[in-house]
């Protein structure tokens, strides 16, 4: 038996149709907590979509978790401590422990703000993956 799973989360324009969250009081349209559906050990992932003018409605910060926001569509802003950062397709924002954060899709966005939020905690990753092994003798499957 191999240790992998496949989950189809749908195309970007389908993300808004999902309703989810970490708790009932923080659940909303356009959020899918992917790591609740897959057996992930060291990382977490949410797929998100906000309508133009919609915002998170809260600030939060983490003591142990680091987050990486990868923006794929739309235009938005992130509040990071005392700063406001413009985000859009291709923006990647790393937010470390202790930093207050919030986000919104700006009202003039031409479509939904869509992004992945990747969460990780625990031990620091090595700069160069030191646990990999190459299989030069394995033939390609295609």
Burial grade of 114 (CB within 10 A; 0-12, 13-18, 19 or more): buried
Q: What are phi and psi of 2, to 5 degrees?
A: -100, 160
Read off the pTM. Answer: 0.85
Q: Which residue has the higher pLDDT, 78 or 125?
A: 78
Of the pLDDT bands very low, low, confident and very high (cuts 50, 70, 90), residue 1 is low
DSSP 107: T
Residue entry with tokens 């422990």: 97
Structure tokens at 13: 């324009």
DSSP 61: -
Three-state DSSP state, 25:
helix
4 has pLDDT over 90: no
Burial 60-96 (b: 16+ CB within 10 A, else e): eeeeeebbebbbbbbbbbbbbeeeeeebbeebebebe
CA trace torsion 8, 96, 61, 118 (10° rounding):
0
96-140 pLDDT, tens digit each: 999 999 999 999 999 999 999 999 987 776 767 777 787 889 888
């Amino acid at each position: 038996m191999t240790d992998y799973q496949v989950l189809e989360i749908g195309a970007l324009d389908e993300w808004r149709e999902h309703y989810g969250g970490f708790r009932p009081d923080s659940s909303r349209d356009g959020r899918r907590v992917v790591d609740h559906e897959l057996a992930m050990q060291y990382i977490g992932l949410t797929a998100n979509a906000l309508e133009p003018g919609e915002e998170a409605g809260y600030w939060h910060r983490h003591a142990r978790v680091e987050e990486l926001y990868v923006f794929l569509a739309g235009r938005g802003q992130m509040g990071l401590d005392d700063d406001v950062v413009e985000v859009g397709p291709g923006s990647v924002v790393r937010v470390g422990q202790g930093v207050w954060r919030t986000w919104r899709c700006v009202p003039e966005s031409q479509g939904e703000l869509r992004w992945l939020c990747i969460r990780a905690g625990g031990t620091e990753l090595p700069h160069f993956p030191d646990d990999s092994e190459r299989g030069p003798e394995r033939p390609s499957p295609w």
